[in-house]
Structure 1
Amino acid sequence: MKEWIEKIWRPNVNGCQMLLLDSLKVHKMASIRQYLENDCATQVQYIPPGVTGLSQPVDVGVMKSFKKKIQDLYVKHHIDHPFQPTLLRGV
């Protein structure tokens, strides 16, 4: 979790933020919460157990369009920046 915070969360947020997490044990570790709140200016809130299933239809709808957008960006990136052939790729 701390690796994700360092590589993804911290570099991409500015100012005070709120992070909504599920009730996974690692998310609820006091050290993780303290690190987010004290070092990353992030307020942590938890989704109550059992609620995730209720929100799944919304999640599916949101994720479908999100994944499509990511896929489109990935394809565009590789069209604009094609892989350069190397000897290793030829093997």
Structure 2
Amino acid sequence: MKEWITKIWRPSVDGCRMLLLDSLRVHKMASIRELLEDECSTQVQYIPPGVTGLSQPMDVSVMRTFKRKIEDLYVKYHTEHPFPRTPLSDA
């Protein structure tokens, strides 16, 4: 997260900004918030947990279906083409 802030966010900031973050633990770390607020002139706000369906309807309606289809294809492929076994001598 710190790398993204310093390499991507900071160079793009021109004046005061607000950044909306979800409730991922790393987003709520004091060091992350301080870096954004103190060094990047960024006000941090958090999206409450459980509101993805309201705030990102495409994530719920389209991406969920897409991800489920990809997972099904992955499982089907690896059911038909099992991973090779590693000999105990190589473990």
TM-score bracket, normalised by the shorter chain, equals 0.5 to 0.7
Partner Cα distance (2:58, 2:45) in 1 = 19
Deviation at 1:54, TM superposition (A): 2.3
Instruction: Mark the runs of 5 or more structure 1 residues left unpaired by the alignment.
Output: 61-91
One-letter code of the match for 1:17? Answer: R
Q: Paired residue for 2:29?
A: 29
Q: Paired residue for 1:82?
A: none
Bigger Cα Rg: 2
Deviation at 1:58, TM superposition (A): 5.0
One-letter code of the match for 1:26? Answer: V
Deviation at 1:59, TM superposition (A): 5.5
Q: Paired residue for 1:39?
A: 39
Partner Cα distance (2:59, 2:50) in 1 = 15
State TM-score, norm by structure 1.
0.61
Q: How many residues align?
A: 61
Q: Deviations over 1:20-72 (max 9, x none)?
A: 00000000000100111011100000000001122232568xxxxxxxxxxxx
Q: Paired residue for 2:7?
A: 7
State TM-score, norm by structure 2.
0.61
* Greater alpha carbon shift after TM alignment, 47-56 vs 1-10: 47-56
Q: Partner of 1:15: helix, strand, or coil? A: coil
Determine if contact 2:21/2:46 at 8 Å carries over to the other structure: yes
Runs in 1 of length 4+ with deviation above 6 angstroms? none
Q: Paired residue for 2:63?
A: none
Q: Paired residue for 1:50?
A: 50
Q: Report the RMSD for the aligned CA atoms in angstroms.
A: 1.9
